[in-house]
Amino acid sequence: MTYRIAVGCDDAGLDYKEQLARDLRADPRVSEVLDLGVHRGAEDEHRPYPEIGLAAGEAIRAGTVDRAVLVCGTGIGMALSANKVPGVRAATAHDSFSAERSVLSNNCQVLALGQRVVGLELARRLVREWLGYVFDDRSPSAAKVQLLNDYERC
C-alpha cells in the first residue's frame, strides 16, 4: 500500500516540515506528497495554523490524500484544527507509543508534531514509524472508533 500524504505547517514548524516532506518523497510507501504550506520566503509564510490544519483535514475528507503530517510549535494547534473537519482524526504525538496508538487504537489519519517540543531526528522517526501502522477494523478499538463516526453523523 502506498499513501498520498499532505504536509503542512505554520511558521513555527517550517524547518521540520521541509525535512519531513523530503523524507516522505523518498519513502517507497508514499506515492505523492501534497505540500499545503507554508513556504519559506513566500506570501503564505505567516499563515495561521488553523488554515493549514483545516486544509489538510479537508484534503483527507475529499479523498485527495490518505494521511497528513502537520507541524507547528507544539503540534496541538494543528491537531485541533484538523479535528474540526468531520471524519478526520488527528493526534499530537511526541513519542513512539503515542504515534503507534494514534493509528492502531484511534485510526488517526493525521499526525501532528511540535517543532518546539521534539528533536528533528525523533520527528523523522515518528513519521517513519507512523506510516507503518494500519488500523485493523476487526480490532477491539474498531467499536470505539465507530462511536466517534456515529456521533459525527448526528
pLDDT digits (tens, 9 = 90+) for 116-144: 999 999 999 999 999 999 999 999 999 99
Helix (H, G, I), strand (E, B) or coil at 144: helix
pLDDT tier, 51 (very low <50, low <70, confident <90, very high otherwise): very high
pLDDT for 42 beyond 90:
no
Residue 63, Cβ density class (10 Å: 0-12 exposed, 13-18 middle, ≥19 buried) = exposed
End-to-end CA distance of the chain: 32
For residue 142, give the C-alpha cell: 474498531
Q: Which residues are catalytic?
A: 72
Return d(Cα 59, Cα 135) in angstroms, integer: 20
Give this prediction's pTM. Answer: 0.96
pLDDT for 10 beyond 90:
yes
Q: What is the pLDDT of residues 65-104, one digit of tens each?
A: 999 999 999 999 999 999 999 999 999 999 999 999 999 9
Return the CATH number at 63: 3.40.1400.10
Q: Given this model, what pLDDT does residue 6 score?
A: 98
Number of domains in the chain: 1
pLDDT tier, 26 (very low <50, low <70, confident <90, very high otherwise): very high
Of the candidates 109, 111, 106, the residue with the CA atom closest to the CA atom of residue 92: 111
Residue at 100: amino acid letter: E
Domain coverage including residue 125: 3-153
For residue 152, give the C-alpha cell: 459525527
% of the chain with per-residue pLDDT over 70: 100
pLDDT for 154 beyond 90:
no
Return d(Cα 42, Cα 46) in angstroms, integer: 9
